[in-house]
Structure 1
Amino acid sequence: MSQHQALPSAVYNLITMPSNRAQRRFAYIIGALVTLISLFSVPFVRVQLGEMPAFQPAIFSTVVCFELITAYVIYSQFKISRQPAVLALFAGYLYSAGMSLVYILAFPRVFADNGLFNSGPQTSVWLYALWHIGFPLAVLIYLRLDAKHQNVRYSARKAKIAGWCTFVGTIVAMTVCTLFTTHYVEQLPTVLSQGQLSPSFVKFVGIPIVILTFITLLIFYIRTKASTVTSTWLCVAILAMMLDVIIVLCGGGRFSLGWYVAKLNSFVCSNVVLAGMIYEFTKMYLNMADLYRKVKESEFSYKVLLGESQQAERTISEQNTIIEQMLESSHEAIIMCDTVGRVIFANRRVELFFENPIRKGDCLSTYCEGMRTSDTTFKSLVEAYFNQSIPPFLKRISRVSLSGEMKHYECYVNPIVNEGADTLRGHLFGFRDRTEEERIDEMKNEFVSIISHEIRTPLSSIMGFSEILATRNVTEDKRVKYVETIHKESMRLSNLINDFLDLQRLDSGRQVFHFQTLNAAHLVGEIVEQWQGRDNHEIELHVLHDFPFIHGDEERLKQVFHNLISNSIKYSPDRSKIDVYVERENGRVLIKIQDYGLGIPADALDKLFARFYRVDNSDRRKIGGTGLGLSIVKEIVEAHHGRVLVESELSRGSIFTVQFDEHIDR
């Protein structure tokens, strides 16, 4: 497949979604309000207002969050359209978010007297200038790429590479700007003295930035005419950034009227495009909900009419019977056409699949616009079939749904001929939805990729140290150390493979459980004995009720509690006490393992049982593990119709609770 290709047809997304008159009018009102507020404040920019030290951090934390979210949303639209121009907007917002963050961190007396990063009193001014130069330049690059490559669409592989290159390049640009304005700030001209910008900075830096931003706004509006939702609100964002710079150039120290107005303009610049996109997201959702309601109403109405028709007409032809059976039971979209390609019949799944109504007499090739095979448009393939240029076929096709999701189908076509004769009566097209199959294939590929990476890491260590031992003369201390490392990595690799095989058996349903009546206290007690004293940890077993019987597989449940107690020991390196409780409550048996160690962050609790997930924390990096143990625990417990719960508090420890139904042996 080529690295890029012409767009087959116009596919609207949040970047190309047309704006209506009401949306443009609302954007113009916002732009006018921002302009009027800025202009009215110019004579009073030096008027000092009340000090709110938290105002600037609060504003810029919001600015950074909004711009990062906007950058992410724009990148998601690039993944849909794969047009190179969209990457320029993504880079612009990512750069603006990063420079905003560095600016507030380096600003004097916000987080440090002279700001962070070894910055000086001049750093924040130069960061501000570089920030406000970068964004309009990104918009100009977007316009250039859009004009030159408007009909280009990257392949999936090239789009991924281009996205990563853009991301890395933007991070490098922000890093260079930060180093330039912090470590080399003493070599830069002094542009700020006693809270006032120097005339040379205003003349040679500030005014050119205003001119650049104004030219960008003018060119952008002339080119786009604010014809899309994104371009409409981007005009307002560029205007707000220009007014921000103008207010700053007019003077006024911290907590002056001009200072507050400039920060307000930064806030407006950061959120208007995001607000417009969120509004369009909401509209698309409402349209989908309305479409779903109409489809359900249509389905209900059709069932009523079908019932009345069946009662009124007892005798029906064989062909109609077949159509009714397909309509009621088939999971495929079925279309029957005459010999020239006009629709004779289509079941309700056609509209459900393709989100577009189809009527009797419609031309099938026209209905198939927007669908593609791997090498051509599906419309041209259908036309070639009806022109008898190609034989009946089986093809995989794809299309972008109204929600922007890529849908995949398999289409087969068969001619309909009279039984016992060669007379062609029409054609039957069948469409099978294989989107879920594609998603599962993608998940499998991702899972294999993760497994490959996790296996490669210990294997590299084993091979590297083995090669050193085989080819070099090393001291006894180093030899022992290398052998220990090889052993540790081998155990890690073995544990990973065993955990992976356990998961595979559980997922495939091939894991055989040998259920029997078990005394939970005896079961847990055996495991506590085995771990007692390990790494100087004292484990105390508390059996609060007699005869806590459960129904389960002894070996698999031992695996569960070995894993949980092992984790408690590993993640409480500075605490020697672990408590294990076995109790009964409301017809259930509860086994609790409580440690007093590192604890788990609240934002990690909902992902704790995901495969390969490990809490990203410096205190945990030296602690080994595969990231599969807790997911295996969850699978085994749920196979026993139980639940595993966790409560945790950072630096206070964690409590893992395993619940089973109490088994009463009758």
Structure 2
Amino acid sequence: MSHQQSAPSSVYNLLTMQSNPAQRRFAFIIGAIVTLISFICVPFVRVQLGEMQAFQPAVFSTVVCFELITAYVIYSQFKISRAPAVLALFAAYLFSAGMSLVYILAFPRVFAENGLFNSGPQTSVWVYALWHLGFPLAILLYLRLDSKYGDVRYSARKAKLAGWYTFIGIIVLVSICTYVTTHYIEHLPTVLSQGKLSPAFIRFVGVPIVLLTFITLLVFYFKTRAKTVTSTWLCIAILALMLDVLIVLCGGGRFSVGWYVAKWNSFVCSNVVLAGMIYEFTKMYLRMADLFRKVKESEYNYKELLGESQQAERIISEQNTIIEQMLESSHEATVMCDTAGRVIFANRRVEVFFEHPISQGDHISSYCQGMRASGAAFNEVIEAYFNQSIPPFLKRISRVSLTGELKHYECYVNPIFDEGADTLRGHLFGFRDRTEEERMDEMKNEFVSIISHEIRTPLSSIMGFIEILATRSVAEDKRVKYVETIHKESLRLSNLINDFLDLQRLDSGRQAFHFQTLNAAHLLREIVEQWQGKDDHEIELHVLAEEALIYGDEERLMQVFHNLISNAIKYSPGKTKIDVTVERADGAVSIQIQDYGLGIPVDAIDKLFTRFYRVDNSDRRKIGGTGLGLSIVKEIVEAHRGTVTVDSELGIGSLFTVRLSESWEE
């Protein structure tokens, strides 16, 4: 157990709270009553009583609930103490709860004639045996761990992992026991015949369990002497478990006196520890409330209340742990420094942000070397702050990551003063990652730039020609030309607005798709006919598969191919041929649109489907566009579970390929 922390100061909890003589006497009385009831009933165990079918589910639903609650309470104590041995107690009650649940589900005529899980009349008996065997073994494991690793305490992270491993391990163990006792029940010895336990089961299973439980009780008592609250009530729980099995071995069928008494002992075993813990929780709360009242009433009782206030100090220590955990889970990097700027605490987010570790005692200004703030070195800004040259600040800083990416952060610093006093205790530095915000700002600026150009240009043309038509008398041929220009620019403006609206609907998930089976060849013929002769371009359609069926939204797919053919025409000035090919391959339909125009630079292909991206050269700037068309194409194709790719060579042309499925298999 080398990965654990050893010899820390013990934390105050119910597992270490000392029991007083009154508590032990009360527990002894409860144990004596349970034992007396069990032994008084021994001569009458075979007496049959009335059948109460609801008794079994009612008792065991309570048993399962109590044991799960007890397991949770013990686990909460483990989170405080982080002692490995406590996990064994948690496992004992979690295992008992799981096996109790399987027992009642597999019990005949409770939920099904032969029980659930394909069980039979033998299953519940074997589940009962494994259940009552596992609990004392877990108690012995607890004693062993407490003896060998009593001073060991897990770190917070190791404690969390150990808790999860224990939880998952018990679930797996209960599942294995259930599987074996249901699916392999025919391979296990017959233990129940005509409602009676077989002699072999009593001799080789029942009696050893009683002896094991009795030995566990003796060992547990002599090891612990019932000195703590938990150990006192665990003695009673082990006793009730032993009496439960002992009564069952004395005979008697279901709904006999012995059967009912055994269920009573199961009930006692499940809730006695929980009842004791709840009682002590209540007492602890009352003592804390009384302590708080006394502190408020009078300060002169301080020395008298000093011993009780140590308990409050431990609670504060736990709260500090909670605060530390909250800081660790924060999305901000947080660093607390003393008055000289040396690091007192830093959460893990600091190392994640800045890619190198920070330790207690490091100076914050040295750690921040290499960062920039408004053109100045950030470590110099920090030193100026500690020299009181500048007040507490909020600044944007940047640094280059190990991968060469420029990262942006926002840093704020606040001095920490004593509450109600002017004594400076330290400084709190907070770092917030705003790299994504910077990227969005750049996109917004690019968006504004494009909008200002792409909207202003057609608007200026429209307004200019309308003003000419409104204020001057022009010849008919010029009037027609002006109106055509106005119409053309209006369409351009309308298309731009539609692109923005389409993109917004796709982003928000409000774009409705109406999927149906379509013939790709028919769809492309209709689109090609609309673009045929546009700007003197000849579009040739090559249909290699007439039955090229695709599953999609007709209107949206037409938008995709209109956009791609429009781009092919637009970016092949001086060239007149465009090839459109429809073919089937590997259960999918491939639509290829080939132009022989400008082509695309190699370094631009990866960014081609990014919003607002446009290849930056003079030839394309003359053509215009928003850089939204291809991003919309990609969004629509991916919504159809398809792909769109491009293969291009500068000055030779570009080939866009859209692959769509013939059908979707859910």
Give TM-score scaled by structure 2 length. Answer: 0.48
State which structure, 1 or 2, has the greater radius of gyration over its C-alpha atoms: 2
